Amino acid sequence: MREAGPYFVRTAARGDLPAVRALLIETWHDTYDSLYGAARVAEITDAWHSIAALETRLAKPNCEFVVADSGEEIGGMAFAEALDAGKTVMLHQLYVRPQRQGRGIGVALLDEMEACFPDACQIRLEVEEANGKALAFYDAHGFAQIGRTENCGEGGSGIPALIYEKPL
């Protein structure tokens, strides 16, 4: 468990999922409405961030699903998966409520994800090229672009993204 100001990072539980879903919807609309439009963002969040979709992540093998909790709200969340016999960590999600960004929550979530996979050699992620805040965050924390994809996240999404990686 790591602290981030008044927030502490802990393993997500079933009871957290409605708050995690609300956080994801809020963050996605704040970040992506101007890029994709509110209707497309709602469509994506309904598919990718439904309670059922989040629930499958709780029990998925070789994965970690954590939240930053103040005791009053969930301020951030992260989900990662070990690939390549544990040598690569794929950081699928790291989101912090827009009004809580810049307070160390993202750093605490990233640190926790790195600590959860002690045998990993690198951590990788996909990030929307127009998401300047995320790019600046990952650049500042040792990530570098190693490629691109035309289908960020779910297969066939049609959402282009940069692939970033950091050695561990």
168 residues of the chain, pLDDT tens digit each:
555 568 999 999 999 999 999 999 999 999 999 999 999 999 999 999 999 999 999 999 999 999 999 999 999 999 999 999 999 999 999 999 999 999 999 999 999 999 999 999 999 999 999 899 999 999 999 999 999 998 887 667 778 899 999 999
The answer to whether residue 26 sits within a structural domain is: yes
The answer to whether residue 97 sits within a structural domain is: yes
Give the per-residue pLDDT at 153.
75
The answer to whether residue 10 sits within a structural domain is: yes
The answer to whether residue 79 sits within a structural domain is: yes
CA distance 82 to 4: 24
The answer to whether residue 156 sits within a structural domain is: no
What domain count does the chain have?
1
User: Which is it for strands 88-96 and 122-127: parallel, antiparallel or unpaired?
Assistant: parallel
> Which CATH number belongs to the domain containing residue 66 in this structure?
3.40.630.30
Q: With contact defined as beta carbons under 8 Å apart, do 33 and 44 qualify?
A: no
Write the CB contacts of 103 (distance below 8 Å, at least 6 apart in sequence).
Answer: 4, 5, 7
The answer to whether residue 144 sits within a structural domain is: no
Report, in angstroms and rounded to the nearest whole number, the Rg of the chain calculated over CA atoms. Answer: 15
Give the per-residue pLDDT at 4.
58
The answer to whether residue 103 sits within a structural domain is: yes
The answer to whether residue 76 sits within a structural domain is: yes
Domain coverage including residue 62 = 2-119
Give the per-residue pLDDT at 166.
98
